[in-house]
Amino acid sequence: MKKLRSALSLFLATAFIFTCAACGNKNTGSQESGIDGDFFTDDEVVISNDTDGADSKTGASDSNTAESGSANTSKGNKIGGKSWKEVLAGMPKKLRGTTVTVYNWNPAYEYSGAPAAIEKFEKQTGIKVEWKTENFNTYLSKLASMVASDTAPDVARLRNPFPTGLLSIQPITATGYDFSDDAWDKGVMKDYTFGNKTYGLSLKNTHIGSVAMLMYNSSLISKYDLDDPYKLWKSGKWTWDTFIKMCGDYKKAANAEFACGGEVDWSVWAAMRNNSGPIGFDGSKFYNNTSDAKFLEVTQSIADIYNTNHLFKLWSADEFNSGKCLFWSGGAVYTRRKNAYMGSLKSAGTLKTVPYPTVEGQDKYYQFTSNEYEAYGVVKGAKNAEAVPYFLRWFMDADNYDLNAFFCNAQTLEVYNWCMSQENKIWVTCYAVDKNYDSANADDFSKINETPGAQIASFVKSNSSIIDARVNRYNQALSQLK
């Protein structure tokens, strides 16, 4: 069991949780350096890694991870291609003594082991790392302002591959680096390629990804004598019908308002059925997908689950963390040891994860990539674009971390790696547009989240022009990227 070292630690951790904005520990303020801060540390909180059906060890502190990480790297997180030694040997000597500036809405210390890994990178390469964090709500606008004022960072964390969120990013060819090496995730690069230009990067098999996973409270599974979702998954019995039945059984037994919350809108449930959501992309342009029969069928069924049967509810992170619902749908970032969300469940050792269930009658499994890809891009006006690939090759390599200390438990690492290994990854345009994701204000189509299934067809028809406006905005941005 995880034990809190003091009442003060509990107070500080709780206070930190409630100061974070919406999603993925989106920092509420701007700070110039994230690598020397260490608010949410293993000294304050000790998390047990005991899990059913998964081996585990006690996580090491940040000071040891850069040295010991390679001994604790899961086979699923091994990076292929050139070794770091080969990469380092090919690094231009002129990069020594330079600085690479990283822009992220999460501080470096939230990536357990990153401060030590970054320090080691600086020693090996001679490249200094400056880590800048920015409030999630102003992240894109601030980046655009820095580009305009010629104070741009070199590398920025990206969101989903909406072209409206990439207007401050330049193609990766600006680095002069050869990304044909097998170490780089070609699937992510493909998603961030428009025309013949690629804007996003990640490492293949990295532990720093944010695929969507289904979290659950194992104490409620025991309390209401429900089948363990993880064990059902391992035995091949984790299906959509089983999941929905469990939600209904829990809601009835617990007299709960709902059974499953989540960070995203309906996109994750549409992705499971290989549906693009209200906007589609054919490889060259975006289009209005709301007249598609499959879109309407999928959306009606989702609407009934939320607004007729009341099994699901949007967001509700606090309710999940306090034991008021059984499941929560979100990106892997929330299961990281030092992410502030779900702190009570992490403390109790009851935050467990499982992949999304398979859909009966569907011959393929589709893995949603979450609303926050952990991909990185080279910023327009970067002063040291050439150093970016070397930083990412080190920063995202699990060999430089202790994975036992990175996620909240070993079961989560197992589930994360399985989800990352799926071939049919899909990202879906949001049902409810959000300025935090694509630089646009919310529009009236977001009211679909409150619409019962029987009214979906009429709602979509009467609001189709709103989607047309989104499509036009995306395609205009797309033309600026090509």
Percentage of residues in the chain having pLDDT higher than 70:
84
Residue 245 lies inside a defined structural domain of this protein: yes
Are 450 and 318 in a shared domain?
yes
Amino acid letter, 204: K
Domain shared by 300 and 196, yes or no: no
| 218/421 Cα distance (integer angstroms) | 25
Kindly report the average pLDDT of the chain as a whole number: 86
Contacts of 460 (CB under 8 A, 6+ apart): 278, 290, 296, 299, 448
Nearest to 101 by CA among 124, 137, 127: 127
Residue 431 falls inside a structural domain: yes
CATH number for 58: 3.40.190.10
pLDDT digits (tens, 9 = 90+) for 395-444: 999 999 999 999 999 999 999 999 999 999 998 888 988 766 666 777 89
State CA 359 to chain mean position distance: 23
The 8-class DSSP code of residue 360 comes to T
Tokens of residue 105, six digits: 């809405």
Q: Would you tell me the crossing angle of helices 114-125 and 388-395 to the nearest 10 degrees?
A: 140
Q: How far apart are CA 77 and CA 208, in angstroms?
A: 10
- Domain boundaries, position 295: 212-370+421-481
Is the same domain home to 336 and 447?
A: yes
Q: How far apart are CA 55 and CA 258, in angstroms?
A: 32
Cβ of 57: how many Cβ atoms within 10 Å? Answer: 12
Assess if residue 415 is contained within a domain. no
* pLDDT tens-digit series, residues 146-196: 999 999 999 999 988 889 999 999 999 999 999 999 999 999 999 999 999
Domain boundary among 410, 436, 466: 410
Question: Domain count of the chain?
Answer: 2
* Residue 173 and residue 36 in one domain: yes
Residues 6+ apart with CB under 8 A from 242: 227, 232, 357
Residue 256 domain-assigned (yes or no): yes
Residue 416, in any domain of the structure: no
Is 222 in the same domain as 358? yes
Q: Which residues, at least 6 apart from 145, have a Cβ–Cβ distance to it below 8 Å?
A: none
Cα–Cα dist 107/105, whole Å:
7
240 contact partners, CB below 8 Å, separation of at least 6: 272, 357, 358, 359, 360
Q: Model-level pTM?
A: 0.86
Are 226 and 106 contained in the same domain?
no
Residue 161 shares a structural domain with residue 288: no
Range 356-366 average pLDDT: 97
